[in-house]
Chains A and B, each alone.
Chain A
Amino acid sequence: NAGVTQTPKFQVLKTGQSMTLQCAQDMNHEYMSWYRQDPGMGLRLIHYSVGAGITDQGEVPNGYNVSRSTTEDFPLRLLSAAPSQTSVYFCASSYGGRGSEKLFFGSGTQLSVL
């Protein structure tokens, strides 16, 4: 039972580079989301999706892009990486998109932007 799978686990980028963080879940969950975790800041929501073809912004969406073409996948794109995007990124999913369910988290991607 894979659950929520994130790749890569570690990534180093140079300022201005672009990349995509991958997230896939095999639980047929409608709801998927991306968070970033910085020291002393807790988790902050970047983007979320309540189903295929539907996405919305969270608290800190600037500099990030998402799409949801399938139920299983929810990639996060960094358009032009900046040092301020150095963080640990977590993808999470839940069964329902009704704003009441528990989340299942991936193991995270540690990103450094130089």
Chain B
Amino acid sequence: SQQGEEDPQALSIQEGENATMNCSYKTSINNLQWYRQNSGRGLVHLILIRSNEREKHSGRLRVTLDTSKKSSSLLITASRAADTASYFCASYSGYALNFGKGTSLLVTP
């Protein structure tokens, strides 16, 4: 079953702006992951945040996790046209990694 749900479904911003995507999940987790999918390609892992972490950074990415609210957010700072893609959160239920439906991000020059 789909564990996570991203919000918004679609986001359109201009280059240089920040993009924030949110994810809500249903059950307790060991970690939460974010993936990116460029059009017509496979998913690429971006970042993993463990349940005992509240915030994690990787380059222009910042992920937060609030286990009390069962939510996470992905912030992309200073967006570029190359960031145009779909972004998915995912978490494990047993051995199954379940994905949300994704946020489609469009960054225009």
Query: Which of A's residues lie within 8 Å of B, judged by CB?
Result: 4, 31, 33, 35, 40-45, 48, 50, 56, 58-59, 90, 92, 97, 99-100, 102-108
Q: How far is the CB of B5 from chain A (nearest CB, A)?
A: 9
**In the docked arrangement, what's the CA distance between A102 and B45, Å?**
7
Please pick, from A35, A44, A97, A107, the residue contacting B95 in the complex, using a CB distance under 8 A: A97
A-B contact count (CB 8 A): 61
Q: Which chain A residues lie closer than 8 Å to B12 at the CB level?
A: none
Q: How far is the CB of A59 from chain B (nearest CB, A)?
A: 6
**In the docked arrangement, what's the CA distance between A108 and B40, Å?**
8
Residues of B within 8 Å of A, CB-based: how many?
Answer: 24
- B97 close to A (CB within 8 Å): yes
Once the chains bind, are B42 and A43 in contact (CB under 8 Å)? Answer: no
> Looking across the interface, which residue of chain A has its beta carbon closest to that of B33?
A102
Please pick, from B42, B95, B96, B100, the residue contacting A105 in the complex, using a CB distance under 8 A: B42
Once the chains bind, are B42 and A42 in contact (CB under 8 Å)? Answer: no
Main secondary structure of the interface of A (DSSP, over half): strand
Main secondary structure of the interface of B (DSSP, over half): strand
- B98 close to A (CB within 8 Å): yes
Query: Which of B's residues lie within 8 Å of A, judged by CB?
Result: 1-2, 30-31, 33, 35, 40-45, 48, 88, 92, 94-102
**In the docked arrangement, what's the CA distance between A33 and B99, Å?**
13
